[in-house]
Amino acid sequence: MSYKEHYSHLGRKVIFIMTDTQRTDMLGCYGNPGMHTPAIDSLAAKGVRFDRAYTCQP
């Protein structure tokens, strides 16, 4: 049985959006009143927003 056949009854869909060089202090959904990012703010309000995510930088 494939993954699709086994889990298709759940009806869950995931969209992963990653923006390049987008710091949290440059987004309205993280509290910056001077940044106008309505699409990302709407996604953050309706979905999952991570307050602690880490990455390594060169």
Q: Which domain holds residue 22?
A: 16-47
- Taking a C-beta distance cutoff of 8 angstroms, is the pair 44, 50 a contact? no
- Is 2 part of any domain? no
Is 41 exposed, middle or buried, given 0-12, 13-18 or 19+ CB atoms closer than 10 A?
Answer: middle
Evaluate whether 29 touches 49 at the Cβ level (below 8 Å). yes
Tell me the per-residue pLDDT of 18-51, one tens digit each, with 9 for 90 and over. 777 678 888 899 999 998 889 889 988 988 888 8
Q: Which residue has the higher pLDDT, 48 or 5?
A: 48
Given a contact cutoff of 8 angstroms between Cβ atoms, the answer to whether 37 and 28 are in contact is yes
Q: Considering the domain boundaries, does residue 38 fall inside one?
A: yes
Residue 1 pLDDT exceeds 70: no
Q: Give the per-residue pLDDT at 38.
A: 93
Domain count, the chain: 1
Phi/psi region, residue 17 (left: phi>0; alpha: psi -120 to 50; beta: rest), is beta
First to last CA, the chain: 42
